[in-house]
Amino acid sequence: MQTAVYTAYLLIGGNLGNRFANLQMAVELIENHCGSIAQQSSIYETAAWGLTEQPDFLNQVLVLHTSLAPATLMQQLLLIENSMGRERSVKMGPRIIDIDILLIDDLIIDTPLLRLPHPALPLRRFALLPLAEVAPDAVHPVEKKPICQLLKDCKDHLNVQKITAPTA
């Protein structure tokens, strides 16, 4: 029997510590524990969304090929966050790392552990912009629109700036 392979679109980000190193560590841990990273967006510096009185975030979208079932993938990503020192003391507060599943194929899931597609995706430019870079034609399974259209329609005007990682 063949194992299913899912394509998951992950948003990684953080605004504490060495933000570049934290993204890089998250990428390595995801690849080591969750599957194969097929593509990475550019890294974007973004103003904090929700709780705005905090440092800017670095965000990046990863395209992951995984044989982990969606709930198992979510559990593994939470373990990675915890292993990197993620603390959940303030909702939408500063954090070393945050790993969100934006989409997995065209799945729609609504459980206490996992909601797919990510319910806030159409509202967040900082998620849509890097997602549109790697998957502009992927269709949001609830909105029934491609990601590039959701980005055009997005009312969020917070600053999202493409940056380059420092060398060495």
d(CA 126, CA 124): 5
Residues with active-site annotation: 86, 95, 98, 100
How many secondary structure helices (H) and strands (E) does the chain include?
4, 8
In 15-136, beta strands by DSSP E: 36-40, 43-46, 57-66, 98-104, 109-110, 115-116
Q: What is the rounded radius of gyration, in angstroms, for the C-alpha atoms of the chain? A: 15
